[in-house]
Structure 1
Amino acid sequence: MELKNKKVLVIGAGKSGLAAARFLREKGAVVTLADSKPAAELETVAAGAGVTIFCGGYPPAAGYDLLVVSPGVPLTVAPVVEARQAGIEVIGELELAYRFARAPIVAITGTNGKTTTTALTGEIFRRAGRRTLVAGNIGLPLVAAVADFGPEDIIVAEVSSFQLETIRFFRPRVAVILNITPDHLDRHGSMAEYTAAKARIFSNQKQDDVTVLNFDDPLVAALAGQSPARVLFFSRRHNLKAGAFVREEKIVLGKNGAVVPVCGVGEIALPGAHNLENALAAATAAWSLGVPASVIAATLREFKGVAHRLEFVAEIDGVRYVNDSKGTNPDAAIKALEAYREPIVLIAGGRNKGSDFGAFAKKIREKVRVLVVVGESAAEIAAAARAAGVTEIRYARDFREAVYLARDAARPGDVVLLSPACASWDMFRNYEERGELFKKLVREMVTS
């Protein structure tokens, strides 16, 4: 991809937009970085020398050779529409990075579990002796480091449906889809469109590539016939001819009729049935590229997870505090609730992304002793919970009060769980900021 002296418009000055602008400038492009926020609201508008900053909106697409759109920017904004009508190429940061990638890519998507599975898969490859880049939607933009890795290395990338909307040639060596449940319907419009966006992860694969699918998820399993690659399944409920599955409480890997044991289900360091699925997916991806079962087993026994996903914070007066701020939709929060046998004091609420809280409310009735609601969707979640038969509900005026209401409601032996089932954007910039504040408030309780 020749970029020297090309005029490029980067839309969105978040992490990926800033990284893309710097990368493009290093390649000799003439870059304009645009954001809808005024300059005063941006944390930084400096993408390096030679980048023009355009704040408070977006310039027209006319005159640009290429548009690079950040994942958070809907593709209905005026310059994207104009560019497509004029035949100007529109891509995202993921596609830009791919065009300069030299290392094979394992790409992982799904509604829930992407970050944990990506980090776990990366750790398996590191233990196998491969120089590994873990990047993408997990926090480090792929374009920021892709040029440093060569053919003998490996890239493990978390990719979102928003990123997949703007790919063109992106072709991972291994594509993984963990699960598909309702999420981001405010952007995609329907489950059919959301599923189609996820399926783009394997759209450019060839016969010698691998697609890894969840056999237990009907929406995901049904995609097998659409993949041009060799399909491998993983399952915690069924025996399979190939892929990873559970037999007699052990994870096993199947290939050509032979079965190789990995480790016991109870040996996995990550808690919960959903993390067993994540472990099976990671094992399948690594196994497909030749990583020995012994290395996979050693990693599964020791990998303890990532920040903001069932992250243990502290135990105070017999009460455990767990940060699951990354539970940004009802299905993720349901999985978090299912990971514990103890009574739960749940903090939930934030900005609804078009989800229905009915199934979440039924799980609350089953698992939660006290529900604390906060944020834009507090009343909506409370109403769904009441309709499901939940009576112990507390209303918080802000996030700090939510944490303290949860503390006051908790008894020894309880788990205080932050698993909001909602996005953080009504009160925070992202789920990380929400989770960090939760941890800070809990640690303040320890010192006081």
Structure 2
Amino acid sequence: MKIVVLGGGESGFGAAYLAKKKGMEVFLSDKGVIKDEYRSLLNEAGIEYEEGNHDEAKILAADWIVKSPGVPKKAEIITKIHQKGIRLSSEIEFASEFTDAKIVAITGSNGKTTTTSLIYHILKNDDLKVGLAGNIGKSFAKQVADENFDYYVLEVSSFQLDDIQNFRPHISLLLNLSQDHLDQYNYNYEEYALAKFRIAENQENDNFFIYNKDDEMSMKLLEKLEIRAKMIPFSTKLKLREGGFVNGEEIEVKLSDDFMMKIDELSLVGNHNVANSLAASIAGKILNISNESIRNSLMTFQAVEHRLENVAEIDGVKFINDSKATNVNACYYALESMKQPTVWIVGGVDKGNDYTEIEDLVKRKVKAIVCLGIDNQKIIDFFKDKKETIYSTSSMEEAIKVSKSLAKSGDTVLLSPCCASFDLFKNYEDRGEQFKKEVLK
């Protein structure tokens, strides 16, 4: 079988490596430049590849094409693949066909990385043989090739779900929906939301689908979608007969037996993290992990880097790195959890953002806005009548200097950009690292 892999990063190399190990004929093609570490891994594994080009004849001669999430679905080569009717899969689809491990797959607009890491922590803490992959950690395909795990916990994006045919997790989890990546979905929120729901489309009645009863779009779509898996809800607003909910000062999960825990014992703070902890607890209960073990995991879990990460307190000013907030809804959660007057650093590549969702929070919680991006005009235009103090900056060094001059003892400087990072940074991690470096400087 001829396999072509598009994209030579973590997931692309992993898929090519797995295909090679399974005795397939493999060719990897990357239109950009392949990083040195992956180039040397490809050479070491004896995988044929090209970079800076897509050899169409070679690509279109494939039996099966594996597309990395970074390759735009509107790219010309993708259109030609569809026209030829060649099977096109994401790495998670490809790798899942070569493992019998139970898969727990997590998607949603916000909280994916935190909840995925938390479920992995719960399983690992219970001494299960478990791998962490998808949009996080090491390539899923590479782990399937080299490891012998009984479970995988996968963070899954809509881009990965766009390219599935048979992907069937044992447990799927849809945390929430908000308007994100609309530029890739014809600026149609429902089209994007339906892409997320694909996580459950191949599940059968011996599988589980965990969903958020507080999420408006999820509930609207569930009325017209047919989900065959056993559906288990969670809510921070409603008491439920079955599922996870908040009961006074506690979280409670009602399934075959009950799990309860005080909210102030959770290691993660903020209402959104109560929801994430409920979802993770339900997954733990489905997998028969003891209450004691789940409680211990929820108390000992360390928050994810670049997600409401406390960097330092300098001269009474707290600096918080929330670089992973690449959409308005993620920033909403960050602003909601601010207890002190906040200097807010925002900006980058706008993905069709609507700032009305956070307008009220900005009025109440933010004392000054520091825009950070090549083009800050949309943010300035939206907030200029709502906030007196707005600055425009075009480097992290400048943004931190301006923020420091605006913040007094007792204030917080929050980097929560609402936007993608590609105008000034390699990715959100690079943006977060530069924030931390400049703060500590």
One-letter amino acid of the structure 2 residue matched with residue 268 of structure 1: L
Structure 1 residues 242 and 32, CA, compared in 2 at 3 Å: closer, same or farther?
same
Deviation of 1:150 (Å): 4.5
Query: What is the CA deviation profile of residues 225-265 of structure 1, one whole-angstrom value per residue up to 9, with x for unaligned ones?
Result: 52110000011100111111111211111136x6x242111
Opposite residue 383 of structure 2, the aligned amino acid is A
8 Å CA contact 2:18–2:145 kept in 1: the answer is no
> Is 2:292 aligned against 1:297?
no
Range with greater deviation from structure 2 (320-329 or 224-233) = 224-233
- Which one-letter code corresponds to 2:55 in the other structure? P
Aligned length, in residue pairs = 434
Q: How does 1:25-174 map to 2 (within 5 A)?
A: 25-37=20-32, 45-46=39-40, 47-48=42-43, 49-60=45-56, 61-150=59-148, 153-174=150-171
Let me know the Cα RMSD of the aligned residues.
1.8
**Runs of 5+ consecutive residues of structure 2 not aligned to the other structure:** none
Equivalent residue number for residue 430 of structure 1: 427
TM-score, L = length of structure 1: 0.92
Secondary structure class of the residue paired with 2:351 = coil
Distance 1:397 1:202 in 2: 42
Matches within 5 A, 1:364-379: 364-379=362-377
Q: Displacement, 1:149?
A: 4.9
Query: Which portions of structure 1, spanning 4 or more consecutive aligned residues, are displaced by more than 6 angstroms?
Result: none
Alpha carbons 1:34, 1:53 under 8 Å: kept? yes
Partners of 1:67 and 1:80 within 8 A in 2: no
Pick the aligned partner of 2:396 from 385, 394, 399: 399
Instruction: Give matches, 1:8-407, under 5 Å.
Output: 8-37=3-32, 45-46=39-40, 47-48=42-43, 49-60=45-56, 61-150=59-148, 153-189=150-186, 190-224=188-222, 225-255=225-255, 260-387=258-385, 389-407=386-404
When structure 1 is superposed on structure 2, of 27-36 and 135-144 the one drifting more is: 27-36
Cα 1:141–1:223 change in 2 (3 A) is farther
Indicate conservation of the 8 Å contact 2:18/2:144, yes or no: no
Query: Within 2, Cα distance between the matches of 1:12 and 1:150?
Result: 26
- Stretch of structure 1 that moved more, 208-217 or 313-322: 313-322
Equivalent-residue separation in structure 2 for 1:148 and 1:73 (angstroms): 25
- Quote the Cα distance in structure 1 between the aligned partners of 2:440 and 2:191: 42
Q: Which moved more, 1:64-73 or 1:13-22?
A: 13-22
Structure 2 Cα separation of the partners of residues 383 and 139 of structure 1 = 38
Q: Which residue of 2 aligns with 1:7?
A: 2
Rate the CA distance shift 1:261–1:26 in 2: closer, same or farther, 3 A: closer
CA–CA distance in 2 between the matches of 1:78 and 1:393? 40
Higher mean C-alpha displacement, 132-141 vs 89-98: 132-141
Kept in 1, the 8 Å contact 2:326–2:419? The answer is: yes
Verify the 8 A CA contact 1:59 1:79 in the aligned structure 2.
Answer: no
Deviation per residue, 1:28-63 (Å, 9 max, x gap): 333222222257x87754423432332233222332
AA partner of residue 52 (structure 1): E
Letter in 1 for 2:407: A
Instruction: Write the letter of the residue equivalent to 1:10.
Output: V
Question: Is contact 2:67-2:91 (8 Å) kept?
Answer: yes
The one-letter code of the counterpart of 2:227 is S
Identity of aligned residues (%): 39
Secondary structure in structure 2 of the residue aligned to 1:286: helix
1:295 Cα deviation from its structure 2 partner? 1.7
8 Å CA contact retained: 1:102, 1:147? no
